[in-house]
Amino acid sequence: MFEDAYGLYVEGQLLLDVQKGREALALLRVGALSGLSIGYSPVRYPMDNETGVRLLAEVDLWEVSLVTFPANAAANVTVVKSTFPHPKGEGLLSALDRAIAALAH
């Protein structure tokens, strides 16, 4: 997970050993499930006095979920790859750990 020119880039891995993982993959493949949602807690969030808008300068990201209707219409799954595991053997949790460690430095 990292921020790029479009926003937050996330790679994840489904657990295909469980029924919900297999169901999610089937729904992703046909486009019936394509949205993403995040759960976070704001850490630093100054207000822009001119607009009254809260600027999220730092957040603790707790989770990324697949959803049918994302709150942000641009938060979508763009690629569904093969069912093979990540070549480095890492999934979303280890990617989150790496991202959190990078933000701490």
83 by DSSP, 3-state: which? coil
Convert 48-75 to b/e letters by CB count within 10 Å (16 or more is b).
eeeeeeeeeeeeebeebebeeebeeeeb
Q: What is the pTM of this model?
A: 0.64
Query: Average pLDDT over the chain, rounded to whole?
Result: 83
Domain span holding position 58: 2-104
Local confidence band at 68 (pLDDT 50, 70, 90 cut-offs):
very high
**Tens digit of each residue's pLDDT (9 = 90 or more) over 14-23:** 999 999 999 9
Q: Which of 20, 32, 41 is nearest to 69 (CA)?
A: 32
- Work out how many domains the chain is built from and give that number: 1
- Determine whether 28 is exposed, middle or buried from the number of CB atoms within 10 Å of its CB (0-12, 13-18, 19+): middle
**Tens digit of each residue's pLDDT (9 = 90 or more) over 12-66:** 889 999 999 999 999 999 989 999 999 999 999 999 999 999 998 999 999 999 9
Which residues are 36's β-sheet partners? 66
